């Protein structure tokens, strides 16, 4: 959800679904104490040429703009007109060209599990949120899946070629937090 007047964009930034790396980050396990002190939003985790924050995850009244629900974490980013990259990225989001989000997490309590492609993944039961980012391609496929389910981008029907390419990056829906049968013993190696 985009608010042009407030220059803000809301998104689901985490779900308990297996990501492209085979990991699962449990939404209810998030620790926010340090993030509240510096609620920054970056572009691609600040790993490219845009290293400074592009937005803040803080309402104009000063409250944290992040909600932890049973099956997801949603957050709002407030962009600034004082930074050209912030303005440009906001417009890409508003136009529907950028939809992906990703969280940077520090594991506090975790275990390993077998992934849907027979690899090894990590389940982060408890974790600290360092920052979250907007990006061209997120790790968590649910951000893309919600757009596909809606069938539109900025009120326009998704074209067939674009719909095909979006569906191509979605993994099978057979591994979620509630699928305990696919996990190995919980005494696995902690990260």
Per-residue pLDDT of the chain (191 residues; tens, 9 = 90+): 999 999 999 999 999 999 888 899 999 999 999 999 999 999 888 887 778 899 999 999 999 999 999 899 999 999 999 988 888 889 888 988 788 899 999 999 999 999 888 889 999 999 999 999 998 765 456 656 666 777 765 455 765 655 664 575 565 554 444 443 333 333 332 33
Checking DSSP bridges between strand 24-25 and strand 120-135, what pairing results, if any? parallel
> Would you list the domain boundaries of the chain?
2-182
Instruction: List Cα–Cα distances, 58 to 8, 36, 39, in angstroms.
Output: 10, 9, 7
Give the per-residue pLDDT at 177.
40
pTM of the model: 0.71
The DSSP secondary structure of 13-25, one letter per residue, reads EE-SS--TTS-EE
Helix crossing, 160-168 with 142-150: angle to 10°?
150
pLDDT value of residue 183: 33
Q: How many alpha carbons fall within 13 Å on the CB side of residue 135?
A: 22
E strands present in the chain: 2-3, 8-14, 24-25, 30-31, 40-43, 55-56, 66-68, 73-79, 100-114, 120-135, 152-153, 156-157
CB-count exposure of residue 126 (10 Å: 0-12, 13-18, 19+): middle
């Amino acid at each position: 959800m985009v608010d042009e007047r407030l220059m803000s964009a809301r998104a689901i930034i985490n779900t308990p679904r297996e990501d492209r790396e085979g990991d699962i980050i449990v939404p209810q396990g998030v620790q926010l104490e340090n993030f509240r002190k510096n609620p920054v939003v970056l572009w691609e985790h600040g790993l490219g040429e845009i290293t400074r924050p592009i937005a803040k995850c803080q309402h104009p009244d000063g409250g944290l703009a992040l909600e932890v629900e049973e099956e997801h974490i949603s957050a709002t980013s407030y962009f600034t007109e004082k930074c050209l990259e912030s303005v440009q990225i906001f417009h890409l989001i508003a136009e529907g060209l950028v939809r992906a989000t990703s969280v940077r997490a520090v594991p506090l309590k975790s275990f390993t599990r077998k992934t849907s492609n027979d690899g090894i993944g990590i389940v982060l039961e408890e974790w600290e949120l360092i920052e979250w980012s907007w990006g061209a391609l997120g790790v968590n496929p649910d951000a893309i899946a919600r757009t596909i389910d809606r069938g539109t981008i900025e009120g326009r029907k998704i074209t067939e070629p674009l719909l095909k390419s979006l569906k191509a990056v979605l993994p099978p829906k057979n591994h979620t937090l509630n699928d305990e049968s696919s996990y190995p013993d919980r005494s696995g190696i902690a990260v």
